[in-house]
Amino acid sequence: MAMADRKKASSKEAGFAPKSDVPSWQSSPGVFIAGQEEVDDLDLVAIEMEKRWGADRLRLLVPKELREKFDRQRYLVNQAIWHGELEDVRRECRRMIKAWKALDGAAEAAGAAPVASGEVWECVGASGAVYALVRQASDARHVKPDGRHVQVFTLDEVAHLLDGFPALAKAKEYFPGAAVVKVRTNIGDPLDGLPSSHEPLDDLMPF
């Protein structure tokens, strides 16, 4: 997951759990909130990069030396999120943001073309597959695989797929605005990961 493996590493997926089951940065409400803000900042940058360059594509547009540095940083930020302390999360998330921007600048300097805005929408499935959505078959020319295995679907094909899963359509009908989402592609509220309790914050950070 070219975005610091946010699909796997997001603290929202791990949830807020007893101290023995989670890394130290998720072991108390105050520290959890502080760490989640760092993860959210990273996710915002990663989402913007994927909107501009396509899902899992940007790292393939730069020289292998820079790609290796980027992938090493992905590993470090994942380790911090899964196993680290708050300072580890802060440090590695901020370095990961710098890594994204370095790739963005390198791809732009090399003359690489961003994905056609408004012509192609890309997303990554839970299996890691890259899906490209286009309005009609002729728009498939705007898809830029660049070494990726991309599955292209037109809107008509998506409609046929939805027809094959009436339960999904019913969920949307009965619950307007309901989202059936496996991969985290937006920024949520960090308080959603906290239990309902009267436990006070372990620290205060006034404005």
- Residue range 82-138, pLDDT digits in tens: 999 999 999 999 999 999 999 999 999 999 988 766 677 778 777 778 888 877 777
Helix (H) or strand (E) holding 34: helix 29-53
106 with 137, same domain?
A: no
Domain extent at residue 133:
121-174
Encode pLDDT of 14-62 as tens digits.
444 445 568 899 989 999 999 999 999 999 999 899 888 887 889 989 9
| Model confidence, pTM | 0.60
Alpha-carbon span 192 to 67, nearest angstrom: 34
33 with 86, same domain?
A: yes
154, part of any domain: yes
Give, rounded to a whole angstrom, the gap between the first and last alpha carbons of the chain. Answer: 35
23 with 104, same domain?
A: yes
Task: For 39-50, give the DSSP string.
Answer: HHHHHHHHHHHH
Domains contained in the chain, number: 2
Which position has the token pair 């619950």?
175
127 with 167, same domain?
A: yes
71 with 24, same domain?
A: yes
152 with 84, same domain?
A: no
